[in-house]
Chain A
Amino acid sequence: MGQADAERAIQAVFRIESPKLVAALARLVRDLGLAEDLAQDALVAALEHWPGEGIPTRPGAWLMATAKRRALDALRRNKLLAHKHELLAHELEAEQSRTGGALEAALDEPVGDDLLRLVFTACHPSLSADARVALSLRLLGGLSTAEIARAFLLPEATVAQRIVRAKKALADAQVPFEVPRGPELAARLSSVLEVIYLVFNEGYSATAGEDWMRPDLCEDALRLGRILAELAPQEPEVHGLVALMELQASRMNARTGPRGEPILLLDQNRARWNHVLVGRGLTALARAEQLGGTLGTYALQAAIAACHGRARSADETDWPRIAGLYAALAQHAPSPVVELNRAVAVSMAYGAAAGLTIADALADDPSLADYHLLPTVRADLLAKLGRLDEARRELERAAQLTKNARERTLLLERARSLTHLPSAVAPRT
């Protein structure tokens, strides 16, 4: 194996093992920055020894043992050892002698808890969203600073600083390295899910004809979500989020046309949907539902996405079910945008008039004043009811509001086409 190949292989091992490694070290030394440094030291050692000696049978255990030995050395070398550090060094030594320093023993330690602790710590709500994202992708996703920078179109130095500051903030605030319990858990978990979905959306909404690196972000988010689902299988919203991401990701190849133009869901070629991901999404949703209780916001959104995923064609969409799910979502997490989506679903299920009633109620909502989709939806429904003049005016208003030049052209074209409809066409309700 050539040198370059050997390095790539070792980097691949490190990408797989580093989250668990950092997590276990963080528990031992109670300092995220030190834990990461020790993990990096272990990587350096691997790069020194493995090309010649070959990759060990249990690379994770090798890295762990190496890192722990260095942790002990680091603690001993520090002449300003506080009493706490002495205790830690003693604990480490005791552990080493108990296990006889055997590499295999390192394998027996339960990794799951440590990784879960790392997840909650990296996503601590005291950190800004940007900091949580950078720290999570680095420590849990195994991404290099350069990869994170490329993914978010930021300078590498900015990302590096963000990560350093985040670790310092956690140390200064003396955030304990633990899994939150009781009433704290729900809020803390919500913070974690927010980070993961943020990463996913960064990749998903950018795929409409932009940087080709972005789909990787969806993959990174999915991977983190799947890992979390294994670590916290009893949490329905984790499965709900994973389901939502799998289902949305299933449509990624169908969302843009050959010239990079966005294609709406109902117009997409469903043969281009990734049905492995649809299946995974439905499975994850079932896990959420089986845990009982009312569905949370992610699970509800996933259930809506699942309705589309199950339909072999747009015609087979279960619109009444979607309308019901939007009603539940409106109860759970009300927002004007949810209400607008509900209007669309209701119109598809029960006719344009029913949908328009809901959309009309949103006409004066100040938060939707600049939202071009409100007049777009109203225009569609008005056209279906044969109220063409009003529809045309709404399309023109939508065209004024949208910031996307291509969309503006399409809206104005539709407005013009309405004036040429023969009056003999029966309006569809």
Chain B
Amino acid sequence: MRFMMLMIPKGYESAEPGATPSADAVAAMMKYNDELQKAGVLLACEGLHPPSVGARVSFVGGKPKVTDGPFAEAKEVLGGYWMIQVKSKAEAIEWASRCPGSESEFIEVRQVQEMSDFPSDVQEIVEQYPALQELGHEDKRA
């Protein structure tokens, strides 16, 4: 099973571009990432630049609308994420609990959807999506 651990730092919604955490915080986080790596559960992890240099795309009336950050109404924004591979939600939560998070941040744990989670009619729709390789290519078999 795969889970995302979404880091949500309070105040990041108004952080200036180029804002970086303290050296101590970075060191603690690196050590944590190393533990995830050593346990064989880490698939990916990245930090995100703050919303002040981001953009939002909405779809009012079916047309895309772009709004540049920062976003005044946003109360919680993503700071970064981990994707981990574990045997249960409880295990994902345990790993999230071990993160050296500060008082002003929290992690949301969300399971990644797998193809097999979807009902068969949805799976068949995905199946029909054109492949990246060219269609009508003859004799692709090795």
**Complex: chain A residue closest to B126, CB-CB:** A272
A212 at the interface (CB under 8 A from B): yes
**Complex: chain B residue closest to A265, CB-CB:** B142
- Beyond A227-B38, A227-B40, A280-B43, whether A314 also contacts B133 by CB under 8 A is yes
Number of A-B contacts (CB under 8 A): 93
- A11, A216, A271: the one within 8 Å of B90 (CB): A11
> CB distance A264 to B123 under 8 Å?
no
How far is the CB of B32 from the nearest CB of chain A, in Å? 13
- Measured between beta carbons, the chain B residues less than 8 angstroms from A5 are 90
Residue of A226, A264, A428 with most chain B CB atoms under a 10 A cut-off: A226
Residue of B37, B129, B133, B139 with most chain A CB atoms under a 10 A cut-off: B133
- Beyond A313-B132, A314-B133, whether A276 also contacts B44 by CB under 8 A is yes
Q: Which residues of A contact B (CB under 8 A)?
A: 5, 8-9, 11-13, 15-16, 55, 142, 212, 216, 219, 222-227, 230, 253, 257-258, 264-272, 276-277, 280, 312-315, 344-345, 348, 380, 384, 428
Q: Which residues of B contact A (CB under 8 A)?
A: 37-41, 43-44, 83, 85, 87-88, 90-91, 93-95, 97, 114-116, 120, 123-124, 126-127, 129, 131-134, 137, 139-142
- B43, B90, B123: the one within 8 Å of A9 (CB): B90
> CB distance A257 to B40 under 8 Å?
no
A-B contact pairs, 22 of them (CB 8 A): A8-B90, A12-B90, A15-B87, A16-B39, A16-B91, A226-B37, A230-B38, A230-B40, A258-B120, A258-B124, A264-B141, A264-B142, A266-B142, A267-B140, A271-B129, A276-B43, A276-B44, A276-B83, A277-B43, A313-B132, A313-B134, A428-B139
> CB distance A258 to B87 under 8 Å?
no
| Alpha-carbon distance A119/B97, docked complex (angstroms) | 27
How far is the CB of B63 from the nearest CB of chain A, in Å? 27
List 6 extra interface pairs beyond A9-B90, A266-B141, A312-B132, CB under 8 A: A5-B90, A16-B94, A222-B40, A276-B44, A276-B83, A384-B139
- Measured between beta carbons, the chain B residues less than 8 angstroms from A380 are 139, 141-142
- Measured between beta carbons, the chain A residues less than 8 angstroms from B88 are 8, 12
| Alpha-carbon distance A272/B87, docked complex (angstroms) | 23
> CB distance A15 to B91 under 8 Å?
yes
> CB distance A9 to B38 under 8 Å?
no
- Measured between beta carbons, the chain B residues less than 8 angstroms from A268 are 131
> CB distance B90 to A226 under 8 Å?
no
How far is the CB of B36 from the nearest CB of chain A, in Å? 10
- Beyond A8-B88, A212-B116, whether A257 also contacts B127 by CB under 8 A is yes
